[in-house]
Structure 1
């Protein structure tokens, strides 16, 4: 029997597709940040690759809560002493006023030094170094998790593979230089500010943005000096390694955890800036643990989720603040799920409160009985709450959290209070205002529709662009010319200087001509009288 030509062609295409999908790429993920929230986003991203047949090896310090059978984890864990040091530093930070991001970063300098130093030590671990020393290992791509650790990009050169940066933040002054993304201070708010939709930036905002850009320029300069030293320390004097400044130009793409079309700010981005905001959110929620599922299922008056993130634990909070929070929450008719690590020493017993050491946050927020999310304004938590259309009460602690909380309030999705100065009455009033006033839920649900409306989901975008870089063995063709220009050329300072010189020359020439004409044709010599 002879098959028609059309059927033969379709059969060939189908076989080719099956063969292509079965030959997954070998991908290395360097996710060495000590922040659990960073790791959740990064592991959620590579899980997409694993689900699509790629083989992923991940280097991490923390134990991932997101995993897959196609993901091999190489964990270089913190020692007990290091874990205690990290916990103590977070405890100190949580007791400071960190509403000013610049001051917050300065206070966090010691903590960041510790975290970045641990990242470097992780890359120098024998099991990690074996990834490039063992010539039997072959990687088609390196995904580098970002935490002010640009020196980590050199690992891609060691394994002779293109590199993509996975960032847990929107485009900003620290990441833009890697891909030549423009810095537009005049109309793009700084990382510590936000602007309402439909409005321009005021003089005060532009002045604050300019001042902030100067601060971050200095901050980035200090960060790069430290990164350059660690680059030499981690990779030694390998003659095959490029100069640090040249190595930074090898970034193919940066994945940003943002979605400017809905979240803002509206700004120009180069083609190598890819937004994958919300990638940690599942298309379909996983079934909840039985205890939580029953607790929420019986919440006839609705329920509240309270979680201050993965870094700040209950023991880090002021005991008086915890008592005030319990006194308010225990009197509510709504049920409360409270993330609390020490199950032996809970804030108190109440029939409407369920304590849990760990929470599947995304899955809980997807439950229809959740009416309010009390959070610390972490980027991941706010994104998940917006996606599921849940109003919020934010109690920011440090870093970008105050900025995230203020942006959320400006959008009308909830309210914010200071965790340091929290009192029972304002806390209760804020909760009751959000629960009783439908405008908060309506606005965030409307935003949820906008946030989900994309040509490709975050997961589809991540998969497509990752495979794009693998197919083309890098993406040098997407590089902005800005990467290869110095400060003077990039800002046209030499052009302005030339124009200035020409103008001065013309003015001098005009002055000379005017004087010449005046003396030659207008000015007459005075006659001298003689006796």
Structure 2
């Protein structure tokens, strides 16, 4: 039997066996980020198709999948979004100003969930769940919901792994291999000065986490979950599984533990939707190919300054390629007929088209994965959080270039576009990367569902978990071994010193008696 047919047969049997039982699952996704909705949508639909009963606590303003399950909308009663973005996307604000606004945002985000009347009613209802799934990035004060509902804790990490994520499954990674935060760049093969800079960045992030972020989140946790037998620290180390939206074929290879599973690409559909006839014709009839630009949802094209907008527009009009531009309002700039504007565009269907030559985007995690999956060269215009790190990965792969959108000029933008469009090595490297990313034994969504149900089948799969709480400090750092080594070498050192002292005393006495 061919390996593919054998794998399909095994998956079919697994599907039939697993579908015979269902679980009650509580999902909590408190960020109003469209990218999380896009990642979560196929995952939720797959769980529903397998018969599981889902309750979703969310903050999405526009996400179709919330209407397909029992959902509780944690309304933004704290006006948290404005607190963060009015500072985060402003280049002139200081780092401490960004830190203060981010901390305020995180606390208010937790309060939006925990003070919501429907959430409060659910907590008082006495119901229990088999599984609790949450976006684990800086949502620590919500982890008490798992213990409150007597559920196994599990995470779905939109931005991949970092130190904070590793600690949730009891794994302590080395700063030589992995950064503490998704928001900072990391160069493991850097020179001495770069290593010193890395160490300063890591130390700063660690201190911020330990002295500012975690104490604030611990206070929120204590207020709402002080009745639990488990402490804040115990709930933070109780995760049985974290699904990571990354994969070693694209991002840095990392030391791993069984409780952390890479499922990067799980949002990529197995079958692409068809393009609208007008859009399909616009792409197919482009003699020199098509450039596609989408700046994401946090900073949209309509929010660009007039100067930046004119730089983009004039440069696009000078290209021989046609341009598809995701523009979020009906009122679009006056432009030539080679530019196609659309508010909602089927991004992956566009990227999959063979006539698509270049993808311009903000460097969001999903866009990076899609650019790699469909083998398209990319121009990154990162702004904040993990975007610079994401774009840097494709720059290192030789499939992308990066520009600062706040310092964009027509010359720099035009030069980068023509370099990516005219030099074939970018396209060839992107195609090679696509082949590598696609070479997996199982679709990432199927892998995510398998491991989710694996944890359910084995009641939390305690055999997968690494709990640092059960490891003594002396054992983790091998202090007992070091003590034995120090004692042995110390005794030898003292013995040598004693012998030398005796020899010196003997020689002095011998010389003294010889002179007399």
Q: TM-score range by the shorter chain?
A: 0.7 to 0.9
1:93–1:108 Cα contact (<8 Å) kept: no
C-alpha displacement at 1:211, in angstroms?
2.7
Cα distance 1:89–1:353, how it changes in 2: closer, same or farther (>3 A)? Answer: farther
1:93 maps to what in 2? Answer: 88
* Aligned match of 1:323: 310
Match of 1:250 in 2: 238
1:189, 1:265 within 8 Å by CA — same for their partners in 2? Answer: no
1:487 Cα deviation from its structure 2 partner: 5.1
1:311-460 matches, within 5 Å, as: 311-344=298-331, 346-460=332-446
Q: CA deviation at 1:331?
A: 2.8
Residue by residue over 1:430-465, the C-alpha shift from the partner in whole angstroms, topping out at 9 and shown as x without a partner, is 112211222111111111111011122211110110
What are the residue-to-residue correspondences of 1:472-487 with 2, within 5 Å?
Answer: 472-485=458-471
2-side partners of 1:105 and 1:295: how far apart? 47
Does the CA contact (< 8 Å) of 1:44 and 1:66 recur in 2? no
**Separation in 2, partners of 1:335, 1:51:** 40
Tell me which moved more, 334-343 or 53-62.
334-343
Q: Is the 8 A contact 1:116 1:148 kept in 2?
A: no
Change (3 A) 1:461 1:109: farther
CA contact (8 A) 2:290 2:322 kept: yes
Root-mean-square deviation over aligned CA pairs = 3.0
In 1, Cα distance between the equivalents of 2:15 and 2:413? 57
Cα distance in 2 for residues equivalent to 1:105 and 1:27: 39
CA 1:343–1:126 in 2, change beyond 3 Å: closer, same or farther? same
Instruction: Extract unaligned runs of 5+ from structure 2.
Output: 1-11
1:194/1:265 contact within 8 Å kept: no
- Contact 2:377–2:426 (Cα < 8 Å) also in 1: yes
- Kindly state the Cα deviation for residue 512 of structure 1 after the two structures are TM-superposed: 2.4
How far apart, CA to CA, are the structure 1 residues paired with 2:405 and 2:353?
26
> Residues 142-166 of structure 1, C-alpha deviation per residue, up to 9 Å, x if partnerless?
1111231112111111111101111
SS in 2 for 1:420: helix
Match of 1:209 among 183, 198, 212: 198
Deviations 1:355-380 (A, max 9, x none): 22233322322223321110111111
Q: 1:128 aligns with which of 115, 119, 142?
A: 119
C-alpha change, 1:517 and 1:440, in structure 2 (3 Å) is same
Deviations 1:7-57 (A, max 9, x none): xxxxxxx99975751532221110111322233223332232223332222
1:471: how far off? 0.5
Of residues 294, 297, 305, the one that matches 1:310 is 297
5+ long unaligned stretches in structure 1: 1-13
Task: State whether structure 2 residue 162 is matched by structure 1 residue 172.
Answer: yes
Aligned pairs, number: 502
Contact kept? 1:104, 1:399, Cα under 8 Å: no
Of the three residues 102, 117, 132, the one matched with 1:142 is 132
Written as runs of structure 1 = structure 2, the 5 A alignment for 1:457-476 is 457-476=443-462
Correspondences of 1:50-199 after superposition (within 5 Å): 50-65=48-63, 67=65, 71-78=69-76, 82=79, 86-87=81-82, 89-96=84-91, 107-135=98-126, 137-188=127-178, 191=182, 192-193=184-185
TM-score (norm: length of structure 1)? 0.86
| Cα distance in 1 for residues equivalent to 2:154 and 2:96 | 26
* Counterpart selection for 1:45 from 43, 46, 50: 43
